[in-house]
Amino acid sequence: MKTSVEATGKNIEQAIENALFELKAPREDVDIEILSEGGLFKKAKVIVSISEDAVEKYDKRKKIKEEESFKNNTEKVDLIENDKKIFNEEENFEKNQIIEDEKSDEIIIQEKNQIKNEARPSAVDFIEGLIKAYGKEAVVSQIEEDEVIKIAINGEGLNDLIGYRGECLFALSYIMNTVCKRENKKQVLDICDYREKRAESLKALANRMANKVAKTGRYAKLEPMDASERRQIHMALQDNDKVTTMSKGTEPKRYVIIFPREYKE
């Protein structure tokens, strides 16, 4: 499965749509780099890549397709073998032995993963120790959902742990996931519900700037954001019929541009 596509079009928007069609991905899951904005006799050219925060979803999709393909191929082989009736007792024994070996391998892998998880400190213990070392008092709780574990910190005077635009929070979250990595679930750190408040703030910002762009007909450039916050801007405006969005620049100063849907150069 492709994770990056270079495409051309009469204008930037058409080039983006061509790339999205080839990637089979929605706009909110990609980062867009403009190579050429085109002109009178020159086509617009862009590179569209699956965003870092969306890669896991596409990896899962690829894995599911591979498993379905493997399953279909296995079923075909079984049908052919059954039709020919060539199985004998020795082959059946070998097949059963392979299955038993695979089960044994699975058990070994599960035991190794369990040992790894047990050897690592829990995220709650790690964060509590970090807060204590920092001289702060806070309550750390864990909320476990289907595929996500939310580690929530609540207390007074924790703004310096959040930092400007959540920079300290994101850094703590990265360290927590490195030290306390879980094999089967994603862990997300939040402080005083900052992520939810920031999401609401970003949505309001996106709609406010979209209205301004629609009225003036001029594009708006937002401040640099991390991949998850850029994605929230894209998602907030994905159904807006007056404006469209794209990410531009290089990390860590990559930013979002909002421009009229009919914008051309």
Same domain, 7 and 72: yes
* 181, part of any domain: yes
pLDDT of residue 37: 81
* 82, part of any domain: no
Same domain, 185 and 202: no
The conformation of residue 261, written as its DSSP 8-state character, comes to T
Same domain, 178 and 208: no
pLDDT of residue 19: 83
Domain that holds residue 185: 123-192
pTM of the model: 0.48
Same domain, 33 and 72: yes
Same domain, 11 and 63: yes
Same domain, 51 and 98: no
Same domain, 114 and 131: no
When divided into structural domains, the chain yields a total of 4
Same domain, 206 and 225: yes
pLDDT of residue 139: 93
* 169, part of any domain: yes
CB 45 within 8 A of CB 15: yes
Question: For every one of its 265 residues, what pLDDT tens digit does the chain have, with 9 covering 90 and above?
Answer: 577 889 898 888 888 888 888 888 888 888 888 888 877 778 889 898 888 877 777 777 766 766 666 666 665 555 556 555 555 655 665 666 666 656 566 665 665 555 455 556 788 888 888 888 888 889 999 988 878 889 999 999 888 888 888 888 888 888 888 888 766 778 889 999 998 998 999 999 999 999 999 999 999 999 998 888 999 999 999 999 999 999 999 988 899 999 998 764 4
* 265, part of any domain: no
The side-by-side arrangement of strands in the sheet containing 4-9 is: 4-9, 44-50, 30-36
Say which CATH number the domain at 225 has: 3.30.1370.50
* 81, part of any domain: no
Write a three-state SS string for 23-78.
HCCCHHHEEEEEEECCCCCCCEEEEEEECHHHHHHHHHHHHHHHHHHHHHHHHHHH
Same domain, 71 and 5: yes
pLDDT of residue 264: 46
Same domain, 129 and 188: yes
Dist CA 197 CA 177 (whole Å): 22
Backbone region of residue 68 per phi and psi (left: phi > 0; alpha: psi in -120 to 50; beta: other values): alpha
